[in-house]
Amino acid sequence: MCFSCSYTKLGYAGNTEPQFIVPSCIAIKESAKVGDQAQRRMMKGVDDLDFYIGDEAVDKPSYSTKWPIRHGIVEDWDLMERFMEQVIFKYLRAEPEDHYFLLTEPPLNTPENREYTAEIMFESFNVPGLYIAVPSCWAEGYVIGSCIKHIPIAGRDITYFTQQLLREREVGIPPEQSLETAKAVKERFSYVCPDLVKEFNKYDTDGSKWIKQYTGINAISKKEFTIDVGYERFLGPEIFFHPEFANPDFTQPISEVVDEVIQNCPIDVRRPLYKNIVLSGGSTMFRDFGRRLQRDLKRTVDARLKMSEELSGGKLKPKPIDVQVITHHMQRYAVWFGGSMLASTPEFYQVCHTKKDYEEIGPSICRHNPVFGVMS
């Protein structure tokens, strides 16, 4: 199972693609007092059972839709446990006591969160074995732990930003459907542009060529509504390269983040890393995302080499650095595919933490996952 802030990917080991992809959201009754986790724990009545997840949760106007995961980190463990219960029993239709589970976690996940996950899986679902993996490891193969960088931008941030842009234009979207409409606009029409100013000029001079139309159905009146989608097409994904548009506290473009991470790596692996930047995840699927990242990164690298040459008074001529951002057909599900391949190997059972280990040592066993020592 691969959890992210927007979608959860589910399936059985050995498959190349997940069997189910569901939105990582849960709809609960307002009376369940959403903000008070302690209150919800004490409520053992119908409210605890009256909830929906995934696509069903999005279409429940009388319920409060919550997203337990934010920026890859679980923020509400009560809701997360209920979400996991549904994906295991309703979607996978599996008895957890009969299956070993591989879950993904963000690279900078706290050890405490791993322990919470272990408690839920071993105590609530009674699984025989559990392995918690870092996504970047299964997308490409190895993690340099000291060179990990987290950015506070994810797919849902693009959705919220698109929703804000549509609201400012007052385009006639039913309020209760504004988030779902923004999500559909993002997934269908958005792309990454090479130059913001030129892109604005394109829409201003020949709007009919670039403006798209989105048609939806009002959930209450059942009537169709149509909106024009213009600047939102390229401004949404642009927050990767101009994050200050959506978050004034974070202003570092993704190209600078990637460059900084590679510069923090050992000097002998930097050139190979620049040449093998592998994209992974749904938010990298925007058209021309890889091309824009490669161009911006190349400019940053070339500027550094030029500065080195100038500081040496022309005596030092650095060798050009080849920058390659790799897009591939497994890009959307690279993490899930890597986990699926590991879980289908005989060695997987050697690296899993077992129920017996958990009962002897406790949840702290999941603070460490010794995969490379066993499988090398």
Share of the chain residues as helix, strand and coil, in percent rounded to the nearest 5: 50, 15, 35
Examine the pLDDT at 299 and tell me if it is beyond 80: yes
Beta carbons within 8 Å of 178's beta carbon, 6+ residues apart: 163, 166, 167
User: 251-326 architecture in CATH?
Assistant: 2-Layer Sandwich (3.30)
Using pLDDT thresholds of 50, 70 and 90, give the confidence band for residue 139. Answer: very low
Give, as one character, the DSSP assignment of residue 152.
S
Half-sphere exposure of 313 (CA within 13 A, CB side): 0
At 35 the pLDDT is 52
What CA–CA distance (Å, rounded) separates 177 from 215?
A: 12
What CA–CA distance (Å, rounded) separates 315 from 317?
A: 7
Please give the structure tokens belonging to residue 354. Answer: 């077992």
Q: Strand, coil or helix: what is 36?
A: coil
Average the pLDDT over 300-306 and give the result. Answer: 94
At 32 the pLDDT is 46
Q: What is the pTM of this model?
A: 0.81
At 42 the pLDDT is 58
Give, as one character, the DSSP assignment of residue 247.
-
Please give the structure tokens belonging to residue 256. Answer: 């600078």
Average the pLDDT over 11-35 and give the result. Answer: 82
Decide: 157 and 6 in contact? Cβ < 8 Å.
Answer: no
Beta carbons within 8 Å of 339's beta carbon, 6+ residues apart: 2, 102, 104, 133, 138
Beta strands in 292-355 (DSSP E): 325-326, 353-354
Q: Pick the closest to residue 277 from 326, 320, 317 (CA basis).
A: 326
Examine the pLDDT at 275 and tell me if it is beyond 80: yes
Place of tokens 């995969």: 371
Q: Pick the closest to residue 351 from 360, 342, 363, 359 (CA basis).
A: 342
Q: Exposed e or buried b for every residue in 181-196, given b needs 16+ CB within 10 A? A: bbbbbbeebbebbeee
Examine the pLDDT at 251 and tell me if it is beyond 70: yes
Using pLDDT thresholds of 50, 70 and 90, give the confidence band for residue 373. Answer: very low
The CATH code of the domain at 155-240 is 3.90.640.10
Decide: 179 and 159 in contact? Cβ < 8 Å.
Answer: yes
The CATH code of the domain at 8-19+32-50+66-146+332-375 is 3.30.420.40
Q: Pick the closest to residue 63 from 20, 25, 21 (CA basis).
A: 25
Q: Pick the closest to residue 101 from 78, 122, 72, 76 (CA basis).
A: 122
Q: Kindly report, residue by residue over 77-130, the tens digit of the pLDDT.
A: 999 999 999 999 999 999 999 999 999 887 677 888 889 999 999 999 999 999
Give the residue range(s) of CATH 3.30.420.40 domains in the chain: 8-19+32-50+66-146+332-375, 251-326
Over its C-alpha atoms, the chain yields an Rg (Å, rounded) of 23
Give the residue range(s) of CATH 3.90.640.10 domains in the chain: 155-240
What CA–CA distance (Å, rounded) separates 177 from 182?
A: 9
Using pLDDT thresholds of 50, 70 and 90, give the confidence band for residue 3. Answer: confident
Q: 20: phi > 0 → left, psi -120 to 50 → alpha, else beta; which?
A: beta
